[in-house]
Amino acid sequence: MFKDDNADKDTINSAEEIYDVGTFCQITSLFTVPAGQNSEAATTAVLYPHRRIKMRSLIKPNYTGVKEGDTSKVEAAAVEATLEGEPTEKAQEESVEQKKPESEDNKGDVVASFEETVADSHKLEKPDFYYEPTAFLRERPVTLINVENIPEHPYERTNMEIRALVSEIVNTFKEVASINNLFRDQVSAFSNSQNSGNVGDEPGKLADFAASVAQAESAELQEIMEEEDMQTRLTKALTALKKELMNAQLQKKIVSDVESKIHKKQREYWLMEQMKGIKRELGLESDGKEKLIQTFQEKANRLSMPEAVKKVFDEELSKLAHLEQAASEFNVTRNYLDWLTQMPWGQRSAENFGIKHAMAVLDEDHYGLKDVKDRILEFIAVGKLRGTVEGKILCMVGPPGVGKTSIGKSIARALGRQYYRFSVGGLADVAEIKGHRRTYVGALPGRIIQALKKVQTENPLILIDEVDKIGKGHNGDPSSALLELLDPEQNNSFLDHYMDVPVDLSKVLFVCTANMTDTIPRPLLDRMELIELSGYVADEKMAIADRYLAPAAKQLSGLESVDVQLENSAIVELINKYCRESGVRNLKKQIEKVYRKASLKIVQDIGEDDVLSEAKALTDEGKAAQEEAAKDETDVKETSQNIANETTEKPRVALNVPSSVHVSITKDNLADYVGPPVFTSDRIYETTPPGVAMGLAWTQMGGAALYVESIIENTLSYSSHPGLQQTGNLRPVMKESVSIAYSFAKGVLAREFPKNRFFEHARVHLHCPEGAVPKDGPSAGITMATSLLSLAINEPLDPTIAMTGELTVTGKVLRIGGLREKTVAARRAGAKMIIFPEDNLSDWLELPENIKDGIAGKPVGWYRDVFGLVFPGLDREAANALWKKELKKPKGASARKALPQREEGEGEIEEAEEEE
């Protein structure tokens, strides 16, 4: 064997190129492999090994061969076969010795025989002609060498280490054979070749066989072949065999892992194919991905997708067809196609623009609200003429409980549109409006796209509730995201982040609700058309309670077939003494409370022993469940089986109250059901003292009467300075109104009553009651000025006069808002006259007659008009002197101590009057 593993040649030029120990083999057969398309012809030789040999000399291949019968060159050829580096004489001696019969000493030299231990037993006579066996190779490029046999090195058969090594090799053979089938066959063939002998008796052959079957390095195998010491040889062979065992174990593990994965995949595939076959037999499903693609295509064919959407759909469908179902992108694409095909592209519901139908629906669902209904009917009439109502965004603004949300639902019912509602109150994530990117896990489109998917029409009515309470978080500003949604010029190509295709929302009728417009962003408010709902007056509340609230509450309380009467007087009492807010939500709660109390009273009066007993209410299933539950006394039910036995679908039935029961709720016994009245009177003052004026304010709950009170803090005393103190939890706008009213009142007093020095000597305290309630707004200027002037001239006001309007320093009365709510509040407070700015005259004329009934409206442009209305027939001469008496009037011990100073001051005042 070549020392260089990469060497590949047929002749040897130097003995250093090869190992000097090899194997003497016999060629038993030859197989010729024909030349292929890309390979040359080759020959395969099968060798049978006999013994180990060692090279003695290399015969140089630099001479020609000897022809048969040529005896003259035989000796010369033999002489040329010399050892490398030896003299020619020695070679000649060896050549002569070679012609002699072999003796016992040179028995190991190679002869033309395959028997290792058999030698010539007879002497060869010197022939006339000597035949050289390898002479025919002299003419060919074949390397010849002289070799000697390597006999087995003697060893002790009783050596325990050799025995142990033999046993370990045999055990290792068994382990490898149990793993590798090919190895098992080799071991079996080796055992049969021993002729039923013990392999332990010939450890050399065992070591050679171990090395021959081990997949070791060539140098390592050569080292085992050259080793003569039996123990060392066995050790090296065992090492190579152990490596083979480790290789077989690793190979077995790899094969096992691969097979387990393959078997798992094959099992899953087999089960999936079985499941598909079962589903196909049942008609539940055909082939997976192909059926899915076919379903998407069928859905898309039924829709009128725009060209841009159709292009995206085709691209995504082609992408899905080339994706494996196990890929993560497969489900993302599938969900996206699912949303694309579930959108109502080109699908619209038939609308009803009938005015009579709309009026019937609105009157059926709501009482009153004439201006709101008229605005909706105008909206529908325009749609009837145009054929569509697109391009308008309605926003209904009003206090809680006036029916804004229910009006939106009634509009949808009147138009025959699908209805969808969602609230944006407290919404702080833009993704709720614009959707998430598809790259996010669990991404979804925005609420608008979800609404279109649910209603399955392009022209629904979408109600966006609580638009004034929208939040603003770290994920963007949702109110800004609503701009694109609610702008008629932009929403025809609304772009959702998830859909990523333009969606036409111009066919959608958007209706928004809000309690106030102050917190709605200005750009958003500019895109909406406001419809104000100011609330209900007492007679409207009465009709609503009688038609809607009372019957619903009675049915909800289980008294639908029972003679329980809620008298009109009780409802009026509820409205006046318990529910003064603009809406009817609190009135609904109070009526439900009345009927609940009536239910309890009926059950307690009749008794539970006979008519309304629990035994009569329980069904057979309910009794069985009750008995089963009584067996388990633990607090927590641990097993689902017990819980299933303790529950039933219909455990009990409703009980019928006897027809002999009669309950009547009147004004007199109403307190037994809802407690003492919350509001004891319509207004704070039945008769107002000087300095008190009744103003009107707008609140989130509607309108309210806002009194302004002014008093004198001190009498005429030079120990304090004149001025104004204000209280009542006033906000910045009202504080400015107080300052303006004070300055204006001093100017009026100086012009109209020049001898009245009230504000020059008095320290005034102005207060608005209910100081715990914050107050703000530009509508209390004339009320504050009237209160201050009433105190200055000591003239009380009519308690039935209410006023509202902002005041400038020159006396101009400015326009205010919420006149309807304020009129309702004035009527509730018992006012008979309302003074309001002249600029609000159109608002007053639009008010329903039932609200203005019994109230006189007085528009004013300047404060002098207000002064003439609140102080009719005033004696101006008397008003000049009244202030002296008011300031000089003793008020306790502190006033008496300051009396000398007041007298001194009085003299100064009289001197000033004489000079005038």
Active site residues: 779, 822
Asked if 171 contacts 239 with a C-beta cutoff of 8 angstroms, the reply is no
**Measured distance CA(505)–CA(498) in Å, rounded:** 16
Cβ neighbors of 465 (< 8 A, separation 6 or more) are 405, 421, 422, 423, 424, 425, 512, 513
Q: Which residues pair with 18 in a beta bridge?
A: 2
**Measured distance CA(817)–CA(397) in Å, rounded:** 13
DSSP secondary structure string, 431-492?
HHHH---TTSTT----HHHHHHHHHTSSS-EEEEE-GGG---BTBB-HHHHHHHHH-TTTGG
Q: Which residues pair with 423 in a beta bridge?
A: 465
Q: Is 383 annotated as a binding residue?
A: no
Asked if 878 contacts 793 with a C-beta cutoff of 8 angstroms, the reply is no
Cβ neighbors of 297 (< 8 A, separation 6 or more) are 317
Asked if 826 contacts 844 with a C-beta cutoff of 8 angstroms, the reply is no
Give the largest Cα separation in the chain, rounded.
190
Q: Is 22 annotated as a binding residue?
A: no
Q: Which two tokens stand for residue 166?
A: 């033999």
Cβ neighbors of 654 (< 8 A, separation 6 or more) are 558, 617
575-590 burial, b at 16+ Cβ within 10 Å, e below that, comes to: bbbbbbbbbbebbbbb
Q: Is 650 annotated as a binding residue?
A: no
**Measured distance CA(513)–CA(509) in Å, rounded:** 13
98-122 burial, b at 16+ Cβ within 10 Å, e below that, comes to: eeeebeeeeebbeeeeeeeeeeeee
Beta carbons within 10 angstroms of residue 258's beta carbon: 10
Q: Which two tokens stand for residue 107?
A: 């028995």
Q: Is 801 helix (H, G, I), strand (E, B) or coil?
A: strand
DSSP secondary structure string, 264-332?
HHHHHHHHHHHHHHHHHHHTS---HHHHHHHHHHHHHHTS---HHHHHHHHHHHHHHHTS-TTSHHHHH
Q: Is 90 annotated as a binding residue?
A: no
3-state SS string over 108-121?
Answer: CECCCCCCCCCCCC
Q: What does the chain come to in residues?
A: 916
Beta carbons within 10 angstroms of residue 750's beta carbon: 13
Asked if 23 contacts 51 with a C-beta cutoff of 8 angstroms, the reply is yes
Q: Is 46 annotated as a binding residue?
A: no
Residue type, 902: R
Q: Are strands 393-397 and 509-514 parallel, antiparallel or unpaired?
A: parallel
Q: Is 691 annotated as a binding residue?
A: no
Asked if 683 contacts 576 with a C-beta cutoff of 8 angstroms, the reply is no
Q: Which H or E run includes 744? A: helix 732-752
**Measured distance CA(382)–CA(377) in Å, rounded:** 9
Q: Which H or E run includes 697? A: strand 692-699
Q: Which residues pair with 145 in a beta bridge?
A: 58
Asked if 588 contacts 581 with a C-beta cutoff of 8 angstroms, the reply is no
Asked if 28 contacts 245 with a C-beta cutoff of 8 angstroms, the reply is no
Q: Is 400 annotated as a binding residue?
A: yes
Q: Is 848 annotated as a binding residue?
A: no
DSSP secondary structure string, 599-649?
HHHHHHHH-TTTTT-HHHHB-HHHHHHHHHHHH---SS---HHHHHHT--S
**Binding site per annotation, positions for ATP:** 398-405
Q: Which residues are annotated as a binding site?
A: 398-405
